[in-house]
Amino acid sequence: MATTTHRHDERRISPVFLAILAVMAVTGWAVWSDFAALPGLAVFLFVTSAWVVSLCLHEYAHARTALHGGDITVGARGYLTLNPLAYTHAVLSIILPVLFVIMGGIGLPGGAVFVDRNRVHGRWKHSLISAAGPLANVLFAVVCTAPFWLGALDGVPLTFQYALAFLAFLQVTAALLNLLPVPGLDGYGVVEPWLSYGIKRQIEPFAPYGFFVVIALLFVPAVNGAFFDAIDALLRALDVPELSRYCGSNLFRFWQETPEFCQAG
C-alpha cells in the first residue's frame, strides 16, 4: 500500500506546473478577449508561459518514454510531475530557452532529464526516448498551427492569431534544432544507439560542446539564413502567414514600439 501511494506521489502533477498552466490560460483569455490594457504584455505572458509548458511536456515525454523503456528511477527524480524545478539542469532546460525567446525570438531546445541508460535495453527504446522530447514539440506545433491549415480562424481575434503564429514558430524551431544529429542534442541520441562503439568513443569528448556549437553556427549569416528559410518554408506549407509570425514576435516584445499594422485595434 505504501509503495502504491509513493508511486502515485511521484506522478502527481506539480502545483508549479499547474500555476504556469493557469497563467497561460488567464493570459490567453486576456489576449483573446482584448481585455488587457497592454495587449503586448498579455501576449508576452501568454507566449512565455505556453513556451515553459511546452518545455515541461518535452522533458516529461523523455521521462515517460524512459519509464516504459525500463528506467523506473525517473519517478523518484520528480520527472513525471511536470515540475520544471525538478530537472537536473534548470538553466539549460528552462532559463536559457526562455532567455533566448525573449532576446532572440528563437525556440532553443532544452534538455536535462537524466535517464539511466543501463536500465534500458534495446536500441529502438534508446532512440525513442531521445525522440520523444522533440516529438512533443512537434505535437505542440500541430496544435498551434491547426487553426491555420484547417481554415478555422473565422472569429479568432487578430492579436490571438499573431500570438499563436509566433508560438508555432518557436515550437517548430525547437523541434528542428533538437532533431539535428549533433552530440548533446536529441537528434544525436536517436542515432547514437546505431553507431559502432569506435565511432561513439571518438564523438564522446565533443558531446558537451555540441549544443553551444549549434548556437554559435546560428550566428553565421549563411547558416542562419538557410535554417530560417527552412522554418519559413515549413510554416508557409502549414498556412501560417509570415505577417502573423512577424506581428506576434513584435507584440511579444512589448517593451519595443509595435508597428501600427500589427495593432489589431
- Residue positions annotated with a catalytic role: 59
3-state DSSP call for residue 190? helix
What residues contact 148, with CB distance under 8 A and at least 6 apart? 164, 165, 168, 238, 239, 240, 241
Q: How far apart are CA 25 and CA 93, in angstroms?
A: 22
Amino acid (1-letter code) at residue 102: I
How many residues make up the chain in this entry? 265
DSSP summary character for residue 85? G
- How open is the CA angle 258-49-228, to the nearest 5 degrees? 60
Q: Which residue has the cell 506549407?
A: 237
Q: If you write DSSP's letter for every residue of 192-251 in order, what string do you get?
A: GGGS-HHHHHHHGGGGGGHHHHHHHHTTSHHHHHHHHHHHHHHHHHTT--HHHHHHHHHH
Q: How far apart are CA 51 and CA 101, in angstroms?
A: 9
What residues contact 149, with CB distance under 8 A and at least 6 apart? 238, 239, 240
Q: If you write DSSP's letter for every residue of 36-73 in order, what string do you get?
A: -SSHHHHHHHHHHHHHHHHHHHHHHHHHHHHHHHT-TT
